[in-house]
Amino acid sequence: MPHVHVPRGVREHLEDVLARTSLATARAEDPLALPTLLPLGLDRCRIVPLVHDAPRNGAQYQNARRRGGFPTRRRSSGQPHAACQAAHSRLEPRICYEGAPHPGMEKGSMSYPRAWIEEIARYEGQDVELRGWLEARRSSGKLHFLQVRDGTGTIQCVMFKGDVPEEIFEEADHLPLESSIKIRGTVRADARAPIGYELAVKEMEVVSRALPDYPIGRKEHGVAFLMDHRHLWLRSNRQRVIMAVRHTIVKAIRDFFDERGFRLVDAPIFTPAACEGTTTLFEVPYFDLGHAYLTQSGQLYGEAAAMAYGKIYTFGPTFRAEKSKTRRHLTEFWMVEPEVAFMELDEDMDLAEDFLVHIVERVLDKHRRDLERILERDVSKLEAVKKPFPRITYDDAIRILHEMGNETPWGEDFGGDEETLLASRFDRPVIVHRFPAQTKAFYFKRDPNDERLALGMDVLAPEGYGEIIGGGQREDDLDTLIRRLEEHDLPREPFEWYLDLRRWGSVPHAGFGLGLERTVAWICGLHHVRETIPFPRMMERITP
RNA sequence: UCCGCGGUAGCUCAGUCGGUAGAGCAGGUGGCUGUUAACCACCGGGUCCGAGGUUCGAGUCCUCGCCGCGGAGCCA
């Protein structure tokens, strides 16, 4: 077998879905890769069509097939599966793994197997039961188009007057939107259907009739209204995709570190004092000990863990009581923070770079179609996220800003405007390093070549999404660190344990923090981070 | 905390110079066998954010207050 390239991500994706379900459907970016997937145990693959795809890969597909590269499942009749034939003629191929029954394929009502819309292609020509919610209805007298959503997707169900009992047809005409239903019929491919498949309805059963006034309509809504109805807004197609991308990013983050041997260490949420001192903390009563604070960073604990286990990451919620009312801020957000012993600033930047490239690749691999079609994201902007990222010093950045007419004086930190300006000079994330020490927290190590500078680095996302990563090398000398605490006017007592890390086997070490919500907003191309988390917590919003 | 914008039907909004409160969607009724945010006809739907003021007359002008949104600072 000739050497063929396995597209990055396909293998991981298949393994991922196979771990989750035993019936997997995955896209193959490059049909030539299929033969190499066989050793993975995918020897029972078949090709199914994606009807709504443009036939742009048809020629490539045909070519691969002539070379005998495609495993094709045949029915017991010996005839190629109808879906395979369709794929052969004009459509982009999909890999479909046939294994043990899907956990969701438990027997549906009345002997119809239950199907999920996400995998509806699998059931073409078969009778199935869908369980979901009535999302929209278009009616044409003796013909209803019922748009049904089951959480994995939306499908058009076609109900002809003669095909169902009269009272069911009447019921379908008046059933309020968002009523929950079980609907049974035959899955068939049809170019007129929005997703290429539709259900020819034979039976419908109402599980719960909704009130007639579902608040979220088919037309536009204001942000405030939608936020008030966040619990219902999550049902929309757009929010479904955003939450799916968030999930993929979380998984990509975990996989990235797990595959590199990092230990996951959970930092506490209740902390005795400020980690960085300057920012505002949420204070909560704590028994006889007075007050505790909600963590604003797991980093100090991450450093302790790195001294114990070498390379670690923390991943959890973080709280900031800053009165920030901007599109980039939440009071509760998720942050992942790797920390590595014996690592210095340059390697820290290498790690951040590999990390972001990995995340973007995984999202593109899994969600390219949804990003383009539902979120209207320009994915070419994401495809540009390749190594190496430009690395500029703070001094360079100031020089560039001055060239562009921004007069930020040396020594000041960058605001949103400066970040956007800088990022606009590059087509991929840009790393800014070696900041003036006074702009950074007490624990940053100084640049041995210039005491005014801290060995910190920020990664600025393109397109004005701002700082998504902040990190750097930590001060590892005991006496210097004690001096820094004094300079920052911080109490020493709560930091004694932290100082211990420098008393017994101190080593150079570095790490960074990545804001999950900002990353999701950037990758999805969202205007505001509040859409990236199911129930955002903001300065003036704590419900729903 | 500061600066800017806004608050009119269930939702999104229009409302001219101060002169009887409007549209689309949603809801209801009827029509239509391939719709794609379906379409067509008809119907119901209002504390114009609140309080006070100017005026013959205030959704509209003025003052104060409340709420929301965006931005700054700070940060991921």
| Strand B lies under 7 A from the Cβ of residue A236 | no
Give the residue with greater pLDDT, A55 vs A156. Answer: A156
Q: CA of A141 vs C1' of B39, distance in Å? A: 12
Could you say which residues 464-493 of protein chain A have a Cβ atom less than 7 A away from any atom in strand B? 466-470
| Strand B lies under 7 A from the Cβ of residue A454 | no
ipTM of the complex: 0.82
- Nucleotide showing the shortest C1' distance to residue A515 CA: B76
- Nucleotide showing the shortest C1' distance to residue A174 CA: B28
Rounded distance between C-alpha atoms, residue A50 and residue A48, angstroms = 7
Residue A466: pLDDT over 70: yes
Q: What does each C-alpha distance from A215 to A176, A179, A226, A239, A350 come to in angstroms?
A: 12, 13, 9, 16, 48
Give yes or no for a contact between A524 and A371, defined as CB atoms under 8 angstroms apart: yes
| Strand B lies under 7 A from the Cβ of residue A496 | no
> At residue A409, what is the residue type?
P
Burial level of A523, CB count in 10 A (0-12/13-18/19+)?
buried
Q: CA of A145 vs C1' of B11, distance in Å? A: 24
pLDDT of residue A384: 93
pLDDT of residue A55: 23
Give yes or no for a contact between A108 and A129, defined as CB atoms under 8 angstroms apart: yes
| Strand B lies under 7 A from the Cβ of residue A437 | no
Beta-ladder partners of A155: A148
| Strand B lies under 7 A from the Cβ of residue A416 | yes
- Nucleotide showing the shortest C1' distance to residue A276 CA: B75
Sign of CA dihedral A304, A309, A313, A317: negative
Sign of CA dihedral A440, A443, A445, A450: positive
Looking from the CA of A182 toward its CB, the CA atoms found within 13 Å total: 12
Q: CA of A224 vs C1' of B47, distance in Å? A: 22
Q: CA of A173 vs C1' of B44, distance in Å? A: 20
- Nucleotide showing the shortest C1' distance to residue A512 CA: B76
Q: List chain B nucleotides near protein: any atom < 7 Å from a Cβ.
A: 1-2, 10-13, 24-29, 31-39, 67-76
| Strand B lies under 7 A from the Cβ of residue A417 | yes
Q: CA of A510 vs C1' of B2, distance in Å? A: 38
Query: Average pLDDT of A9-38?
Result: 40
> At residue A158, what is the residue type?
V
Q: What is the DSSP letter of A250?
A: H
Residue ranges with strand state E in A108-227: 127-139, 143-149, 154-160, 180-189, 197-208
Give yes or no for a contact between A468 and A518, defined as CB atoms under 8 angstroms apart: yes
Residue that has been written with the tokens 């968030």 in this structure? A246
- Nucleotide showing the shortest C1' distance to residue A466 CA: B76
DSSP A47-107: EEE-TTS-GGGHHHHHHHHHTT-----B-TTSSBPHHHHHHHHH--EEEEE--SPPGGG-B
Which of A26-35, A46-55, A208-217, A300-309 is modeled with the greatest confidence? A300-309
Span A424-463, pLDDT tens digits: 889 999 999 999 998 888 899 999 999 999 999 999 999 8
Burial level of A30, CB count in 10 A (0-12/13-18/19+)?
middle
- Nucleotide showing the shortest C1' distance to residue A193 CA: B36
Looking from the CA of A504 toward its CB, the CA atoms found within 13 Å total: 7
> At residue A437, what is the residue type?
A
Give yes or no for a contact between A177 and A137, defined as CB atoms under 8 angstroms apart: yes
CA A497 vs. chain centroid, Å, equals 36
Which of A50-64, A120-134, A528-542 is modeled with the greatest confidence? A120-134
Residue that has been written with the tokens 């001096």 in this structure? A483
Span A2-21, pLDDT tens digits: 223 334 444 444 444 444 43
Span A231-247, pLDDT tens digits: 888 998 889 999 999 99
Q: CA of A222 vs C1' of B59, distance in Å? A: 21
Rounded distance between C-alpha atoms, residue A192 and residue A49, angstroms = 15
Q: CA of A145 vs C1' of B44, distance in Å? A: 27
- pTM of the complete model: 0.79
Could you say which residues 111-170 of protein chain A have a Cβ atom less than 7 A away from any atom in strand B? 136, 138-143, 145, 147, 156, 158, 160-162
Span A319-372, pLDDT tens digits: 888 777 788 888 899 999 999 999 999 999 999 999 999 999 999 999 998 898
| Strand B lies under 7 A from the Cβ of residue A218 | yes
pLDDT of residue A244: 94
Give the residue with greater pLDDT, A99 vs A490. Answer: A490
| Strand B lies under 7 A from the Cβ of residue A325 | yes
Rounded distance between C-alpha atoms, residue A128 and residue A111, angstroms = 9
Query: Average pLDDT of A483-503?
Result: 90
CA A536 vs. chain centroid, Å, equals 16
Q: What does each C-alpha distance from A344 to A314, A326, A338 come to in angstroms?
A: 19, 33, 13
H, E, C per residue of A273-329:
CCCCCCCCCCEEECHHHCEEEECCCCHHHHHHHHHHHCEEEEEEEEECCCCCCCCCC
pLDDT of residue A313: 97
Q: CA of A223 vs C1' of B10, distance in Å? A: 16
* Band of pLDDT at residue A104, cut at 50, 70 and 90: very low
| Strand B lies under 7 A from the Cβ of residue A281 | no
Rounded distance between C-alpha atoms, residue A1 and residue A446, angstroms = 55
Span A170-193, pLDDT tens digits: 888 888 888 899 999 999 999 989
Query: Average pLDDT of A190-210?
Result: 91
Q: What is the DSSP letter of A140?
A: -
pLDDT of residue A463: 86
Q: Taking all residues of chain A, what is their mean pLDDT, rounded to a whole number?
A: 79
